[in-house]
Amino acid sequence: MAQDRCNGFNDSVSHMRPSSKPRKQRKRQIEAPLHQRKKMVRGHLAPKYLEAGKKRSLTIRKGDQVRIMRGEHKGEEGKVENVNLKNLTITIEGVTQAKADESQSARMIHASNIMIIKPDMSDRRRLMKFGRTIEEEPEEEIEDETEDKESEKEIEDEAEEEE
């Protein structure tokens, strides 16, 4: 590293601080690489998930159930169809806008205007980030059903033997 005249070493990273100037904030957002843009597309979690998990917000993914909190479509709910990292917007199924030729097209909504009602928890990594362990409830239910069927068969066999 090059020597700095006043502090010894020139540490360029320590000089980069978030700016309060809107022009610089917009420029940083527009020129951000994809791995940083993905972090910008985040949404607040519904209150029931705030109590259970460690996180306040999650990265929005395709398949999440969301509610629109601001704008023309306020209060509408739907599943995320697409996440556009270039424009930092998402499309929600069922939320459309009319075009000049009277056809309907998907409405792009900024990620800051939505709330995640039910996150898609099919990914193991996302579960771990969310702060939950993977629950194997469906397998236990299947085992319980087979045990019930076996006990029913035993009762029927006993009833047949008595007759």
- Bridge-based pairing of strands 8-9 and 42-45 is unpaired
What domain range includes position 78?
A: 22-132
pLDDT tier for residue 2 given thresholds of 50, 70 and 90: low
Distances (CA, A) of 152 to 140, 144, 158, 162, 163: 18, 12, 10, 15, 17
- Structural domain contains residue 14: no
Instruction: Compute the distance between CA of residue 121 and CA of residue 156 in angstroms, rounded to an integer.
Output: 42
Q: Do 119 and 150 belong together in one domain?
A: no
Q: Give the position of tokens 């075009």.
A: 99
Is the separation of the CB atoms in 120 and 108 below 8 Å?
A: no
- Read off the pLDDT of residues 26-74 as tens digits, 9 standing for 90 and up: 999 899 999 999 999 999 999 888 876 677 888 999 999 999 999 999 9
More confident residue, 143 or 87: 87
Give me the chain's average pLDDT, please. Answer: 80
Give dist(CA 1, CA 13) in Å, integer: 12
pLDDT at 139 over 60: no
Residues 103 and 137 in one domain: no
140 — pLDDT class (breaks 50, 70, 90): very low
Q: Where residue 99 sits, what CATH number does that domain have?
A: 2.30.30.30
Question: How many independent structural domains does the chain possess?
Answer: 2
Model confidence at 127, pLDDT cuts 50, 70, 90, reads confident
pLDDT at 128: 79
- Give CA–CA dist 67/74, Å, rounded: 8
Give all strands (DSSP E) within 33-143, no chain letters: 42-45, 57-59, 65-68, 77-84, 89-98, 104-110, 114-118
